[in-house]
Amino acid sequence: MPSLDLPSGIRIRYDDRGPRGVPVVVLAHGFGVSLEMWMPQMRALSERHRLITWDARGHGGSSAPTDVASYDMPGLAADLRGLLEGLDAVEGAIIGGMSFGGMIALQYAVDHPADTAALILSDSVTRGDGPIAEVGFSGDPGIDGARLAMVSRPDLTPALPGLAMPALLIVGDRDERILDGLPRMAGLPRRRIVRLHGCSHGTSGQRPDAWNDAVLRFLDDIEAGAPLGEDETV
């Protein structure tokens, strides 16, 4: 699988498939896994879209700096920016991710709103304004750095009203840690919330067909300029 060396010195492993000259969909994986978590989505989403998946720093085949303090959410979003620039995939990109990856996606959208055509957040909400949790370190710099980035990430709740792009939020109807924070996402002015029945954390793996259908319907609707409609449970 190919890798790209960023000007920062970080090497990012990625997968890039599907036709060219069509909307680019970018998906960031969850904590502690790699781009292979998107295998159940790759065929369905790449038939009519260019699909880019990638390993965040500290994960999979990407660089894992030993300095844990070098991992933060703005830096992870900057890694994504560098990857998309290197792949000539910045303009009109649809940016998404699951859990940890959703945090990166949201940070990217806040940092680059003009280049984010739409947002897909799966199993992911803002941090909220509570105290930063303590981090227990395991000795693995990639895992420890990602965990630090998650707990110390900026609270982007106040930035949500300024994000004008359409947004899809997917959440399991049994995922209490995400459902508790879902009201904070009401600040997104153009949003569709899809609750997947019977799912806890990790909806894309638990019900991949339903997850894929929710994403493809969203992509079709935004391409057609159709209204996002009411929230739904499927």
Q: What is the domain range of residue 188?
A: 3-233
- Round to whole Å and give the CA distance between 76 and 101: 9
Closest residue by Cα to residue 81 from 46, 49, 57, 48: 57
Is the confidence at residue 229, as pLDDT, over 90? no
Average pLDDT over residues 129-158: 92
What is the residue-wise DSSP string for the chain?
--EEE-TTS-EEEEEEES-SSS-EEEEE--TT--GGGGHHHHHHHHSSSEEEEEPPTTSTTS---S-GGG--HHHHHHHHHHHHHHTT--TTEEEEEETHHHHHHHHHHHH-GGGEEEEEEES-----SSPPPP----S-HHHHHHHHHHHT----GGGGGG--S-EEEEEETT-HHHHTTGGGGGG-SSEEEEEETT--S-HHHHSHHHHHHHHHHHHHHHHHT----S-EE-
Regarding beta strands 24-28 and 50-54, do their DSSP bridges make them parallel or antiparallel, or are they unpaired? parallel
218 HSE (CA, 13 A, CB side): 30
**Partners of 232 in the beta sheet?**
194
pLDDT interval class at 230 (50, 70, 90): confident
pLDDT interval class at 130 (50, 70, 90): confident
Q: What pLDDT is recorded for position 212? A: 98
Average pLDDT over residues 154-170: 98
pLDDT interval class at 224 (50, 70, 90): very high
Closest residue by Cα to residue 53 from 125, 5, 108, 101: 101
Q: Which two tokens stand for residue 136?
A: 């227990």
Each residue of 75-117: pLDDT tens digit? 999 999 999 999 999 999 999 999 999 999 999 999 999 999 9
**Overall number of domains in the chain:** 1
Here the CATH number for the domain that contains residue 125 is: 3.40.50.1820
User: pLDDT over 70 for what percent of the chain?
Assistant: 100
**pTM, two decimal places:** 0.97
Q: What pLDDT is recorded for position 181? A: 96
- Round to whole Å and give the CA distance between 20 and 43: 15
- Round to whole Å and give the CA distance between 4 and 54: 10
